Structure 1
Amino acid sequence: PCSCSRKFQKKVEASISKMVLNGGIDNRYLVLAVNILQNEEGTHEKHLIITASQSLENKELCILRNDWCSVPVEPGDIIHLEGDCLSDTWIIDEDFGYLILYPDMLISGTSIASSIRCMRRAVLSETFRSSDPATRQMLIGTVLHEVFQKAISNSFAPEKLQEFAFQTVQEIRHLKEMYRLNLNQEEIKQEVEEYLPSFSKWARDFMHKYNSADLPQMQLSLPSDGNNNNSTCNIEVINSLDIEESIWSPRFGLKGKIDVTVGVKIHRGYKTKYKIMPLELKTGKELNSIEHRSQLVLYTLLSQERRADPEAGLLLYLKTGHMYPVPANHLDKRELLRLRNQMAFSLFHRISKSAIEKEKTKLAPLPQIIEDQQTCKYCSQIGNCALYSRAVEQQMDDSSVPIGMLPKIEEETQHLKLTHLEYFSLWCLMLTLESQSKDNKKNHQHIWLMPASELEESGNCIGNLIRTECVKTVCDGQYLHNFRRKNGDMPVTNLMAGDRIILSGEERTLFALSRGYVKDINVTSVRILYACGFSVLLTSYTHSAVDNILLKLVKFKIGFLRLGQAQKVHPDIQKFTEEEICRSKSIKSLPLLEELYNSHRIVATTCMGINHPIFSRKTFDFCIVDEASQISQPVCLGPLFFSRRFVLVGDHQQLPPLVLNREARALGMSESLFKRLERNENAVVQLTVQYRMNSQIMSLSNKLTYEGKLECGSDKVANALDLEFYADYSENPWMIRVFEPNNPVCFLNTDKVPAPEQAEKGGVSNITEAKLIVFLTSVFIKAGCKPSDIGIIAPYRQQLKIINDLLFHSSVRMVEVNTVDKYQGRDKSIILVSFVRSNKDGPLGELLKDWRRLNVAITRAKHKLILLGCVPSLNRYPPLGKLLHHLNSEKLISFFLCHVLGDFQRR
């Protein structure tokens, strides 16, 4: 009891600041205690002491009866309750009410339905999401779904169905899948056409009837019908309201996409009832199976987030045109939500942590392996299942595997050595830890739990918006929306151009998500390999890193194919993307697509782009991974499997893979494959000659990091910056020091100026430094420098936002403003760095303690590097202290005096 109490206390303390507890329809309760008692009838009940109060006061009681007692709820868990609360007591039993465990973990209805036969398979599918292989049946199903969805929004006339089928099999995304599976386009089209008569039959049977008596008779009883024993009815589909309706349901902990949302009339005798129902399409055998029906029952729960309870759904088998009504009664919903809770528990407890601190963290076992060889034979997760069993579970003392399944596990893993199993186990643990840290940091649950007004205070939301114009179509699947604030001024926000957001209705929020890194390599090696007739796969972690290489290849007129969405690619590279080539050449047949893939010996994509169909049939002579020192091992390994030889290019003196979780970092997750393979000295080549920086800028990194080993590649590298109108801005001594073309490095010390940092809701900033940065930028442009040749770096996102806002109001465009991390691998003629921090006694920020981050910042400039900051404050950071000592010895630090402040603010 003592250790359990400590475990609960630690669990609550770790998460109480992020918890959002409240009552009402979207309630969230914290479980304070769990007791199992025996009632007067001799059966067991589970009593939960719960609270919806942030102060943990105002306690309530929740009594779980019957099968609800099996819900694996623990003190410290968050739950959602459906039902009635009388006198601060909830009763959840077989006839009334639901308990949702971890309701902010949204699980798809498809996964829950698949857990009926095997919970382990469902958990593995959620954990290893991209491992389900593509099949011919899946492609046929996807095409048929699209044809039906187009028809229900338009027409089921035979000639229109033929047109929709012809258009759909020509779409590039389907051609790519045909290429992956090595299929014949005409055969796929013919197979799709075999279904079309059934589409027409369904439309004739269920749509646009003038007389309800002409509709097929069906059996459907709805809860709202009361005691009416007559379940015979006629169902008429009036219209489709939505296609692929995506719904998140934080009430029930569910998410999903409904194939078609339809308006229906239920005719029973002389009475007609109108309902909006989910219509689920199935292309396989007409099974009317429990999995298919369960999926629809869960979709009725999803639908309640948007509209009245549909009470039932419709299940349509496209091969025959037969449709089944599926009632959603309390028993089915109860059992499916209990399954959902079991699955949520397994996903939440993927890590096993002992209450005793000394015992190390380890992976938890998955749900038990079922002993059903027929089911396992066709399971898409059999490989992952066997690997996890052998590498993780069989190493545990209490491991239990069904005897009949041991030969299958051995068969699936016999090619693996002990070192392979240990590597998998370690990385599975580290990735799970990191995944949990990322989920905690995102706080996605705040989107639906917190009002927009509170989220605005955190700087992550803009609420109270209304759309001002009609939606404009940018291209297929992309739309432009314009919003304005309904009333009041625009709030201070962290949102920036390029951020990914979530848009939702009233009392929901916009939420920003974005990150990235970049680097370039010497393209000579690529040119040589190309000239020798080799095929080359070019890859890196981010789009900008990949494009940085390609921009240099373009100058040499070397052809390449760029994979990835055109909108994420550099504008000058977009015309080389698969998407743009297919559009411009109007590629609508498989032979033309194959010709495109076969005609390029150089293919470029990000490391995460290796699921592209081209890799299913193509192996490259070489794979070059740029910025490899910054890429985690599993991500870096992916592209290497598609090449015969590989080259990793990087610098482990710069930023390593980003790892949020401290425990994962301690276990070694921040070690890149580049660093790991460095142990093989025969395979390592040290590149000490650089062609970016002039010698004085280079000397900074030589002193800070490289122990004097870096050399300039040529005299041209050391050329001074050419500023045509420099003389017009040389009247002040401090400006001469900054703008003098022959003075490549300058540190402006703001110690004598009131330039304090500000800690705001969006982060740390320094408005004085921001204004000075913008002033210097505008002067450089007026003196003859191109805006695109100037880069601005700051370690904090809030500072970037302020600088961007000031640049915008100064009418300065085309100047790139970014974090140190995003500038890795990039270079500019002029770089200005704002260090932001200015407090001589306050707390130290973590970002400036990283010497690798500092090394990146000072090595981005080709000709001129200007650093801004408060020297006494920055001296408290060891890496910066070392740099400042060197700058001071070289007399490269200038005081920015108080009287100058007014001078530059007036300009």
Structure 2
Amino acid sequence: MGKTLLEFQSTKGDVLPAHKFGTHDVVVLKPNKADVGSPSLGQGVVYRLKDSSITVAFEDIPEDGLNSPLRLEKVANEITFRRMKDALIQLSKGVHKGPAADLVPVLFGEKSPTVSKKEVPFTPFNSNLDHSQRNAISKALSSKNLFLLHGPPGTGKTTTVVEIILQEVKRGSKILACAASNIAVDNIVERLVPHRVKLVRLGHPARLLPQVLESALDAQVLRGDNSALAKDIRKEMKALNGKLLKAKDRNTKRDIRKELRTLSKEERKRQQLAVTDVIKNADVVLTTLTGASSYKLDSTSFDLVIIDEAAQALEIACWIALLKGSRCILAGDHLQLPPTIQSAEAERKGLGRTLFERLAGLYGDEVMAMLTVQYRMHELIMDYSSKELYDSKLKAHSSVAGHMLYDLDNVQRSSSTEPTLLLVDIAGCDMEEKKDEEDSTLNEGEADVAIAHARRLIQSGVLPSDIGIITPYAAQVRD
């Protein structure tokens, strides 16, 4: 179950040149002089990036070939697309049995959702929930097959999701909790851990936050009894391999090989039992949407599937998880930007519309509740989106409604810290955009304006670590 970490540096030990590797990228390792189509030494996931090195986590890596210059190549994660295609094929054949047999017709609009008018009372684990969060949780708990949690920015959507999970665990439900990204899944794990929920996080350790690794499947398997037995078997196999090397008699060699085959079979069985035990004993299994297709979940069905950030996920990715449950809750905001679709044809044929958006349009308030108190931004910043997107339903919580930069410790009140929202129009200032060698856009004039304003904020006492400068272009960040 363990992974091998290999750290790669320049042959000269210098700072690495500009590259496009990122954490969680799938890469293959090859001899430096190998042809493009040549076999790789192994495949892994980028675990850590430094200025002068890249660390990659490998499932298996050969001992040969590592002492000469090597190169890493970024490759497409074909597993993700294969898993989505498999779910699509399963749907196209019709889902007539299995845990989702009654749910699928509802999600395709062929059967109306069962909605309970009765409010479900509950004692919250989080005493700080606001009225809209409590209302949404009650509605979610009363749902029979489908519920949509509409959470605009800063309204505590994930806080509400965590409370729903805790309430469902209390009711005895077995839950599959997913999101499109690893960071969103890890966020839920972090919030559940203090409540001592029996949970397990599926996924490659290199893709998980360090603070959730103890909850990961690999870590829990290693702590189990069956894993300890498997380890003992491996020790015994190692000793037998030593005897095999020394054995000279043909019959002795044959007997040792026979015993090794038996032990190998038992070791695999124990390892699989260790995985099965962890998943079976967990009340909550957490993974990405594509991770939900893992063979480790093949024999497991769930009372409830929860998908966070559902409005940022492709519909077909959602189906990977949904086919494993009899009831679902989707949390998201279909009024924010959907996932990026690069194919115009795919977007035209429906991939540009998320499952959350489709169901919101199909059933509306019948199955949906909106969170209306936001805890992130000054009401002036919130006001535009509230009016234009949310029918003026958003209200800023008193803790943020009027907060200002100069309310921070050691920050002076000045012309730079007084404006809540400052728009700088650079039209007609001869600040033209241009392209760099990688065809990314940059505007040096805009960068100068942003830097000048940041410097004025720092002079007023704002810490550099409290300032964020955001741009949609990589070239603008670099230059």
Of 360, 365, 371, 1:687 maps to 371
> Which deviations, in whole Å up to 9, do the C-alpha atoms of 1:379-399 show, x marking residues without a partner?
xxxxxxxxxxxxxxxxxxxxx
> Which deviations, in whole Å up to 9, do the C-alpha atoms of 1:442-480 show, x marking residues without a partner?
xxxxxxxxxxxxxxxxxxxxxxxxxxxxxxxxx733311
Aligned residue identity for 1:738: S
Structure 1 partner of 2:113 = none
Structure 2 partner of 1:534 = 173
Of 326, 329, 344, 1:644 maps to 326
Of 723, 732, 738, 2:416 maps to 738
Q: Does 1:715 align with 2:242?
A: no
* Deviation at residue 639 of structure 1 after TM alignment: 0.6
> Which deviations, in whole Å up to 9, do the C-alpha atoms of 1:250-301 show, x marking residues without a partner?
xxxxxxxxxxxxxxxxxxxxxxxxxxxxxxxxxxxxxxxxxxxxxxxxxxxx
Structure 1 partner of 2:411 = 726
Distance (whole Å) between structure 1 residues aligned to residue 280 and residue 467 of structure 2: 40
Q: 1:793 to 1:575 in 2, by over 3 A?
A: farther
Aligned residue identity for 2:437: K
Question: What does 1:652-801 align with in structure 2 at a 5 Å threshold?
Answer: 652-678=334-360, 679-681=362-364, 682-712=366-396, 714-718=397-401, 720=403, 721=405, 722-727=407-412, 736-740=414-418, 743-751=419-427, 755-762=431-438, 763-770=440-447, 773=450, 783=461, 785=463, 787=465, 791-801=468-478
- Mapped contact 1:494–1:798 kept (Cα < 8 A): no
Distance (whole Å) between structure 2 residues aligned to residue 565 and residue 781 of structure 1: 44
Distance (whole Å) between structure 1 residues aligned to residue 448 and residue 29 of structure 2: 33
Distance (whole Å) between structure 2 residues aligned to residue 770 and residue 497 of structure 1: 27
Structure 2 partner of 1:342 = none
SS of 1:698's equivalent?
helix
* Deviation at residue 623 of structure 1 after TM alignment: 1.0
Distance (whole Å) between structure 1 residues aligned to residue 306 and residue 288 of structure 2: 11
Distance (whole Å) between structure 2 residues aligned to residue 776 and residue 557 of structure 1: 46
Structure 2 partner of 1:563 = 202
Can you give the 5+ residue segments of structure 1 that lack an aligned partner in the other structure?
A: 1-171, 173-474, 731-735, 803-907
* Deviation at residue 626 of structure 1 after TM alignment: 1.2
Aligned residue identity for 1:691: Y
TM-score of the two chains, using structure 2 as the length reference: 0.56
Aligned residue identity for 2:386: N
Distance (whole Å) between structure 1 residues aligned to residue 409 and residue 311 of structure 2: 39
Question: What does 1:478-877 align with in structure 2 at a 5 Å threshold?
Answer: 478-484=5-11, 504=30, 505-506=32-33, 521=158, 522=160, 523-583=162-222, 587=227, 588=230, 589=270, 590-678=272-360, 679-681=362-364, 682-712=366-396, 714-718=397-401, 720=403, 721=405, 722-727=407-412, 736-740=414-418, 743-751=419-427, 755-762=431-438, 763-770=440-447, 773=450, 783=461, 785=463, 787=465, 791-802=468-479
- Mapped contact 1:541–1:607 kept (Cα < 8 A): yes
Distance (whole Å) between structure 2 residues aligned to residue 774 and residue 512 of structure 1: 33
| Structure 1 range deviating more: 640-649 or 686-695 | 686-695
* Count of residue pairs the alignment pairs up: 315
Aligned residue identity for 1:700: Y
Distance (whole Å) between structure 2 residues aligned to residue 702 and residue 775 of structure 1: 31
Distance (whole Å) between structure 1 residues aligned to residue 75 and residue 401 of structure 2: 39
Distance (whole Å) between structure 2 residues aligned to residue 598 and residue 781 of structure 1: 57
Question: What does 1:434-445 align with in structure 2 at a 5 Å threshold?
Answer: none
> Which deviations, in whole Å up to 9, do the C-alpha atoms of 1:594-631 show, x marking residues without a partner?
33223321111000012223422222221111121222
Q: 1:477 to 1:746 in 2, by over 3 A?
A: same
Distance (whole Å) between structure 2 residues aligned to residue 771 and residue 537 of structure 1: 48
Higher strand share: 1
Aligned residue identity for 1:531: K
* Deviation at residue 649 of structure 1 after TM alignment: 1.3
Can you give the 5+ residue segments of structure 2 that lack an aligned partner in the other structure?
A: 37-70, 81-152, 231-269
- Mapped contact 2:24–2:207 kept (Cα < 8 A): no
- Mapped contact 1:702–1:709 kept (Cα < 8 A): yes
Q: 1:784 to 1:530 in 2, by over 3 A?
A: farther
Aligned residue identity for 1:744: T
Aligned residue identity for 1:718: A
Q: 1:798 to 1:500 in 2, by over 3 A?
A: farther
> Which deviations, in whole Å up to 9, do the C-alpha atoms of 1:61-86 show, x marking residues without a partner?
xxxxxxxxxxxxxxxxxxxxxxxxxx
Question: What does 1:385-396 align with in structure 2 at a 5 Å threshold?
Answer: none
Q: 1:550 to 1:492 in 2, by over 3 A?
A: closer
Q: 1:530 to 1:632 in 2, by over 3 A?
A: same
Distance (whole Å) between structure 2 residues aligned to residue 491 and residue 550 of structure 1: 36
> Which deviations, in whole Å up to 9, do the C-alpha atoms of 1:126-149 show, x marking residues without a partner?
xxxxxxxxxxxxxxxxxxxxxxxx
SS of 2:422's equivalent?
strand
- Mapped contact 2:202–2:285 kept (Cα < 8 A): yes
* Deviation at residue 546 of structure 1 after TM alignment: 1.4
Aligned residue identity for 2:435: A
Larger RCO, structures 1/2 (Cα 8 Å, 6+ apart): 2
SS of 1:649's equivalent?
strand
Q: 1:480 to 1:609 in 2, by over 3 A?
A: same
Aligned residue identity for 1:628: A
Question: What does 1:344-423 align with in structure 2 at a 5 Å threshold?
Answer: none
Structure 2 partner of 1:891 = none
Structure 1 partner of 2:61 = none
Q: 1:726 to 1:691 in 2, by over 3 A?
A: closer
- Mapped contact 1:723–1:785 kept (Cα < 8 A): no
Aligned residue identity for 1:612: S
- Mapped contact 2:378–2:400 kept (Cα < 8 A): yes
Structure (1 or 2) with the larger CA radius of gyration:
1
> Which deviations, in whole Å up to 9, do the C-alpha atoms of 1:754-774 show, x marking residues without a partner?
644331122112345446556
SS of 2:341's equivalent?
coil
- Mapped contact 2:435–2:441 kept (Cα < 8 A): yes
> Which deviations, in whole Å up to 9, do the C-alpha atoms of 1:652-689 show, x marking residues without a partner?
21122322211221121212211222212322333333
Aligned residue identity for 1:716: S
CA RMSD of aligned residues (A): 3.6
Distance (whole Å) between structure 1 residues aligned to residue 222 and residue 393 of structure 2: 49
Aligned residue identity for 1:794: T
Structure 2 partner of 1:214 = none
* Deviation at residue 776 of structure 1 after TM alignment: 5.8
* Deviation at residue 555 of structure 1 after TM alignment: 4.7
Distance (whole Å) between structure 2 residues aligned to residue 758 and residue 746 of structure 1: 25
The percentage of counterpart residues that share the same residue type is 25
